[in-house]
Amino acid sequence: MLRKFSNSRTLEDNLKLGALTAFSGGMVNVASLLIFFSFSSNVTGHYAILASEIVKGNLYQTAIVFAWIFLFFLGSFISNLIVIHVAKTNTYLAHATPLFLEIICLLSVGYYGQFYYRETLIETEIMLGILLFAMGLQNGLTASISNFAVKTTHLTGTTTDLGILFSMFTKKEFRENKELRGKAKLLSVIATSYLAGAIISGLLYFETGFQVFYIVSLFLTVVIFYDLYQLKIGNYLKLKKNKTSKSKKPAFALKTGIPLQTFSNIKEEQLKEETV
């Protein structure tokens, strides 16, 4: 899921990555909406708000909304920067690091919100900015390592692509196209997982409050260590296979230019001559 890069990824790899990260994206977005009355997993609406604040001449609000958009951009930028510069050394580490950073952001918001949050405007603006940065990290990571096939923090493009694909499936030639069916399956899984995460997050929030961000962090931690476990198991099996294949090789081999059967015949004739 996190070990492979770009075109070397299979549909199954992208399905796992899309389902799990979309689930966490849905959880964060709904928690942000319920707590801060604003979305944190996409910036489409923030662009509209930015334009509106510019028209109204509200310089402070314009700067704040621009900062939110920039933080989402910065998260995506840093995520891909890590991937392209660290992947040559350790692919898994390059892909896991943005998720570690996202977890740190979520834990910081959850901890501050649980113990120190006084519902002031400046606190809300800062914590929302941190969540936007975290979602930028996640979206940048999934898009980067999947060659832009997986984007899991918002569903605008996903819904558009599904509409296009389902219209194409009205023709038999497209319904029989394995690649198109796989893409439709991937997008459907992303949309379903995002919705499931959003619903569960909403239910959990009324019981846990800011602690819902701990739950999302725990979920992402499981994703990271599950893939690390699979990597170690794969390396162990590969090492064991190599040792087994080496042990089956003969210790030495008889090298001769005379076939074995011919050599036996010659020796037999020599013995007969010596007897005579």
Structure tokens at 211: 């602690």
What CA–CA distance (Å, rounded) separates 270 from 172? 79
What CA–CA distance (Å, rounded) separates 206 from 239? 49
Q: What is the mean pLDDT of residues 34-51?
A: 92
Provide the pLDDT for residue 240: 57
Provide the pLDDT for residue 229: 62
Provide the pLDDT for residue 126: 96
Residue 2 above 70 pLDDT? no
Percent of the chain residues topping a pLDDT of 70? 79
When the pLDDT of each residue in the chain is averaged and rounded to a whole number, the result is 84
Cβ count near 71 (within 10 Å): 21
Residues 6 or more apart whose CB falls under 8 angstroms from that of 215 comprise 27, 204, 208
> Is this structure's pTM higher than 0.95?
no
Tell me: the pLDDT tens digits for 106-136?
A: 999 999 999 999 999 999 999 999 999 999 9
Answer yes or no: are the C-beta atoms of 60 and 256 closer than 8 Å: no
Q: How confident is the model at residue 52 (pLDDT cuts 50, 70, 90)?
A: very high
For residue 121, the surrounding DSSP H or E stretch is helix 121-145
Structure tokens at 245: 């294949």
- Sequence letter at residue 245: S
Provide the pLDDT for residue 91: 82
Lowest mean pLDDT among 148-152, 162-166, 267-271: 267-271
94 or 32: which leads in pLDDT: 32
Answer yes or no: are the C-beta atoms of 152 and 22 closer than 8 Å: yes
Tell me: the pLDDT tens digits for 232-272?
A: 554 545 555 565 655 555 544 444 444 545 545 555 555 45
Whose tokens are 């190599």? That residue is 242
